[in-house]
Amino acid sequence: MVKRVSIIAVLVLSLISSCYGQVTVGYYNNKCGTKDVESIIRGVVKARFSYEPAIVAFLLRLQFHDCLGDKQCDASLLLAGPGSEQTAVPNFTVKGYDLIDAIKAALEQECPGVVSCSDIIAAATRDAVVLAGGSYYDVPMGRKDGLVGLASNVDLPPPDISVANAIQYYGKEGFSALETVVLLGGHTVGVTHCSVIKDRLYNYKGTQRADPDLDAFYVFFLGNIICHNDPNAVDMFVFLDSPDSVLTVDNSYYKMLLDHKGILPIDNAIAFDPSTSGYVNDLAKSNDNFLDLFSKTIVKMGLIGVLTGNQGEIRQVCSRTN
């Protein structure tokens, strides 16, 4: 099983991620005078990461929601205002907009009108992943920014989606079952809220008890220490990975799943569904395999519905069109 993931899947993903089309690695070389675009982006991300390492989770989620929310990696999620994608319920807790704005401002100062907001998202996410322990990967660039971002276009999977439906959802964008499991590995630095998982902790399927698939000690810890079972309590964050690895991009998320500590219903489900359990087991055994596959799958996600040429624009300010 490990050989299947580490050799065949990696070769397939390598082939896919090398076929970039109109976006290319090194797109901004010599396009910003003597300045290096990716170095500027990296510098701003590194400065933010130094005091807020959780920015890696914010950026991964931001890229995921931008690309898969409306099936276009076009920075449409950054557009603000009534009826925008930011007002869609799944995007209420998306963060990181201010960092993208800071990077854009730094780039506009050096080379106005050159770097798109959508390329900034892709490069900044890569840089944060690397700072958090992930593998470096080249980011093909040359995207243009979209002109429209509507809440009505947002279609993101709920946390209780079934494995079959998750595979179908991601499959429509060309992802395999393995890649679906790898994308969910972004939860290695993810968080949710007590309100999202309260039924699993206190009243699973109307039983007035916890979900029996959850580790009993973990139920006690989450229910009594973190969430308190108090409707008047603050809606606390719950990390989706182990407490000692919540800010590190690694395969510990999969180990958590095998220990019956998957926080979201879909996390728990992929560990024990016959169509995905083998992948979870393999990824839990090899951090190197996970990091390699994760970087390739993120690159592939970043190519969904990209706009190039005259299809979009390079925004002067990421929160509004020109």
> Quick check: 17 pLDDT over 60?
no
Give the range among 17-31, 74-88, 192-206 with minimum mean pLDDT: 17-31
Give residue 215's pLDDT: 94
Residues comprising the binding site? 66, 74, 76, 85, 157, 187-188, 241, 250
Give the range among 93-102, 229-238, 277-286 with minimum mean pLDDT: 229-238
Above pLDDT 70, what percent of the chain? Answer: 93
Residue 178's closest CA among 319, 29, 303, 290? 290
Give mean pLDDT, residues 156-184. Answer: 96
Measured in degrees and rounded to the nearest 5, phi and psi for residue 165 equal: -70, -30
Residues comprising the binding site for Ca(2+)? 66, 74, 76, 85, 188, 241, 250
Give mean pLDDT, residues 275-304. Answer: 97
More confident site: 252 or 1? 252
Neighbours of 21 (CB within 10 A): 10
In whole angstroms, how far apart are CA 139 and each of 25, 31, 130? 6, 16, 12
Residue 193 annotated in active site: no
Q: For residue 152, give the amino acid letter.
A: S
In whole angstroms, how far apart are CA 178 and each of 4, 8, 160? 11, 11, 19
Give residue 236's pLDDT: 86
Give residue 234's pLDDT: 76
Beta bridge partners, 98, equal none
Residues comprising the binding site for heme b? 187
Confidence of residue 228 (pLDDT cuts 50, 70, 90): confident
Find out whether 64 and 186 touch, Cβ atoms under 8 Å. yes
Give residue 243's pLDDT: 84
> Quick check: 29 pLDDT over 80?
yes
Give residue 3's pLDDT: 43
Find out whether 150 and 84 touch, Cβ atoms under 8 Å. yes
Catalytic residue of the set 65, 193, 228, 260: 65
CA 21 from centroid of its chain's CA atoms: 23
Neighbours of 83 (CB within 10 A): 12
Give mean pLDDT, residues 78-105. Answer: 96
Give mean pLDDT, residues 281-298. Answer: 97
Strands (E), the chain: 191-193, 237-239
Find out whether 150 and 71 touch, Cβ atoms under 8 Å. no
Give mean pLDDT, residues 146-152. Answer: 95
| Matching residue, tokens 């470096």 | 136
